[in-house]
Amino acid sequence: MSAALPPAPHSEESHGEPELLTLGPAGDDPCLRADAARNRAKLLDAATRLIAEHGAAGVTMEAVAAAANVGKGTVFRRFGDRTGLLTALLDHSERKFQAAFLSGPPPLGPGAPPVERLRAFGRALLRRTVDELELQLAAEPGPDRRFTAPPRRVLHSHIALLLRQAVPDADSELVAHVLMAQLSPALVHHLTRQCRMPVERLEANWVDLVDRVTRSGPAC
């Protein structure tokens, strides 16, 4: 007999918007010296170009060093290993996206009705996932961490919060997981790369799903 699952956490949502969480060490960027920060940005830019040109498999410490025109030791000192480099890349993207939906302009950020924010959230996350699909897949946590990794918890908490505002009688914790399944990088890869579906179709389906779940009318 399998053990009972622990209750889902509520702390991020109970008093409003979830707190911004990141993958990297807290306070890392502000503590960097100006030259170190420039070096870090240069290396991340080089790694981003390599992913765009060759996929995540093309991102090695040696390749990043060559693309950034620095010594290999500089890359290792800054990121530790390849996993640390990929984590830093995803962390940078996570910070920008979290800032957009937690404090950016509406309808993605505060100020719009919850259903409009849900529609905008899914569309924005789908576009972001398609744009950096190789990185998202390379950094996807294993099954034991897929639903507990801090960035995933922030996204889930945000959706659950908006669902509670839009549909107070729904089981927002479980419905949020159902909605998140539509935004999985693995599913986006299957639909866009293997099934050749345009991202516009995925966005339209997200809006339709949100409207059905929240019993809303057609999106404007």
10: number of Cβ within 10 Å: 10
Asked if pLDDT for residue 7 goes beyond 50, the answer is no
Tell me the domain boundaries of the chain: 31-80, 89-220
Average pLDDT over residues 175-201: 96
Instruction: Encode pLDDT of 85-98 as tens digits.
Output: 888 888 878 988 99
59 versus 114: the higher-pLDDT residue is 114
| Per-residue confidence (pLDDT) for residue 86, from 0 to 100 | 84
User: What integer best gives the mean pLDDT of the chain?
Assistant: 84
Contact 203/122 with Cβ under 8 angstroms? Answer: yes
Mean pLDDT of 68-91: 88
> Per residue in 133-157, pLDDT tens?
888 887 787 888 889 888 899 999 9
pLDDT at 98: 94
d(CA 112, CA 108): 8
The pLDDT, as a whole number, for residue 197 is 97
* Residue 10 pLDDT: 42
Q: Which of 68-82, 135-149, 161-175 has the lowest mean pLDDT?
A: 135-149
Taking the model in full, what pTM does it have?
0.73
CATH fold, domain 31-80, is: Arc Repressor Mutant, subunit A (1.10.10)
Tens of pLDDT, residue by residue over 27-36, are 445 555 777 7
pLDDT digits (tens, 9 = 90+) for 96-109: 899 999 999 999 99
89-220 CATH fold: Tetracycline Repressor; domain 2 (1.10.357)
Give the per-residue SS3 of the chain.
Answer: CCCCCCCCCCCCCCCCCCCCCCCCCCCHHHHCCHHHHHHHHHHHHHHHHHHHHHCHHHCCHHHHHHHHCCCHHHHHHHHCCHHHHHHHHHHHHHHHHHHHHHHCCCCCCCCCCHHHHHHHHHHHHHHHHHHCHHHHHHCCCCCCCCCCCHHHHHHHHHHHHHHHHHCCCCCHHHHHHHHHHCCCHHHHHHHHHHCCCCHHHHHHHHHHHHHHHHCCCCCC
Cα–Cα distance measured from residue 2 to residue 20, given in angstroms and rounded to the nearest whole number: 33
